């Protein structure tokens, strides 16, 4: 696998996760994935215009990926007790 191929895969995964698709699947929409791709493409284009190196562009995409995963985890930890309570009251 070449480096550019791996970077492209990382950008695609980052775009989809930033768009709201869970990293392990099960939730998310095509619209969210498209909006994530649009956001990352806009950021990448802005960095090119600002003459920022491609290494920083990849670093920013990676940081966004980590932030999206952390946010998804935070939401799941907060929502899980409420879902368990709701299921137990349904009987």
CA angle 30, 32, 37 (to 5 degrees): 95
SS3 of 14-25: the string is: HHHHHCCCCCCC
Cβ distance 54 to 61 under 8 Å?
no
Which pLDDT band holds residue 91 (cuts at 50, 70, 90)?
low
How do residues 27-53 score in pLDDT, each as one tens digit? 788 898 898 888 888 888 898 899 988
Domain ranges of the chain: 3-90
């Amino acid at each position: 696998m070449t480096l550019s191929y791996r970077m492209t895969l990382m950008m695609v995964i980052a775009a989809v996760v930033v768009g709201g698709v869970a990293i392990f699947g099960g939730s998310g929409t095509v619209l969210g994935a498209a909006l994530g791709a649009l956001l990352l493409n806009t950021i990448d284009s802005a960095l090119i215009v600002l003459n920022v190196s491609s290494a920083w562009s990849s670093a920013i995409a990676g940081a966004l990926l980590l932030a999206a995963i952390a946010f998804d985890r935070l939401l799941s930890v907060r929502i899980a007790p409420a879902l368990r309570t709701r299921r137990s009251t349904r009987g």
